[in-house]
Amino acid sequence: MDFWTVRGGKKLYGSCRIQGSKNASLPILAASVLACGETELDCVPRLRDIDAALRILRHLGCRAEQDGNSLYIDARGLVHSCIPEDLMHEMRSSVIFMGALLARCGEARLSPPGGCRLGKRPIDLHLKALRQLGAEVEERGGEILCRAEKLRGTVIRLPFPSVGATENTMLAASAAEGETVIEGAAREPEIEALQDYLNAMGCRVCGAGTGRIVIEPRGPRGSVRFRIQPDRIAAATLACACAAAGGEIELLDAEPAHFSTVLHFLKEAGCDIITKQCCLTVRSDGRLRAVGTITTEPYPGFPTDAQPVLMAALLRAEGVTRIRETIFENRFRQVPELRKLGAEIRLEGQTAEIRGVAHLTGAELEATDLRGGAAMLVAGLTAEGETRVRDEGHIARGYERFDRVLSALGAEVRRTDS
């Protein structure tokens, strides 16, 4: 159990480097089982979700070691295609190993994944795509078994641009006979990162970043070295923290284009945003204004992962902001906790109406999920007095040493273990 203590009222100043992307790292870790040699990854964040993925790799028989932000994987010794239930339940992204194991071993046996409880997140699209590639999929007793003597390339049309289904399809198709085309693919930057890794490994993949991806398998290379892109949600969280608390921070090694919709609304709220190629500066006096209506959408729309932290930044903004959530049915789980600080938030279905208040007051809160927990820390930066967040490890799943990052920028934040 983690306890985060935040004392509000401090403006943020200084610069910090953005951590490597969690959501880019995890599918690439799964993809590493396809390599016939070694994989070396740079800029991998030290997170609980990364640790969970490494435990899965080791269970499968791979050698997997992390030293700082460098990571080494040797998948030549892979001997298993089954992932135990306890490892699957540690994180949502564990399901990505399904496509990779099917491609490498011809079978994969696993249970439904865990992760944050944000509502229904079925993997039906994953399974349908694998079946279209020629896999036999059986679901029985809480276990999913995929088998395929031979995978065959085909045209797969996704009715919704699911990131996980797109990634699983790309991984399985990398070992299929013939070309695979994914229509209606997810367009997130993390999909482009997976494409770049697969190409470095010897496949021929193109189209990532658009709705149509083409995968043409080729013989894998012996070794791969790859650099993980910066985490756009971590960068968005820090930008929202500065917007709420006030001050001026520089985010180094960031990709502003990857979270431009978040920056758009911060500008609308009154922040000064200065972007350069790989960094940006956020300047705020802490007196924000409401921004009208925000609707979460698949990329390149406003990201659902940034919704809680932007909500937290706007709790004291003058006027009324409405946020419409279209991705996850339980993405507003942070709202009851933010209300304990004095926030005025009204929920009606999948829409939250935030009416800015003059003051927030510190309180005892409980983190509900990864991004909701981060939102409580952002809100605590603007609250009078002390805010204490009880956390079962959600925040450390996605933010590397977040207490040290915020403290280095001038915030009063302390994290302790029970």
Catalytic residues: 116
User: Cα–Cα distances in Å, from 49 out to 25, 68, 111, 263, 400?
Assistant: 10, 15, 17, 27, 11
Pairing of the two strands 364-366 and 412-417: unpaired
Distance CA 381, CA 360 (A): 10
DSSP conformation class of 202: T
Phi, psi values for residue 279, rounded to 5°: -160, 170
Neighbours of 173 (CB within 10 A): 31
Asked if 90 and 65 touch (Cβ cutoff 8 Å), the reply is no
**What sign does the CA torsion over 403, 365, 349, 116 have?**
positive
Asked if 29 and 73 touch (Cβ cutoff 8 Å), the reply is yes
Give 384: exposed, middle or buried? Use CB within 10 Å, 0-12, 13-18, 19+: middle
Residue 247 token pair: 């001050």
Bridge partners for 281 per DSSP: 250, 274
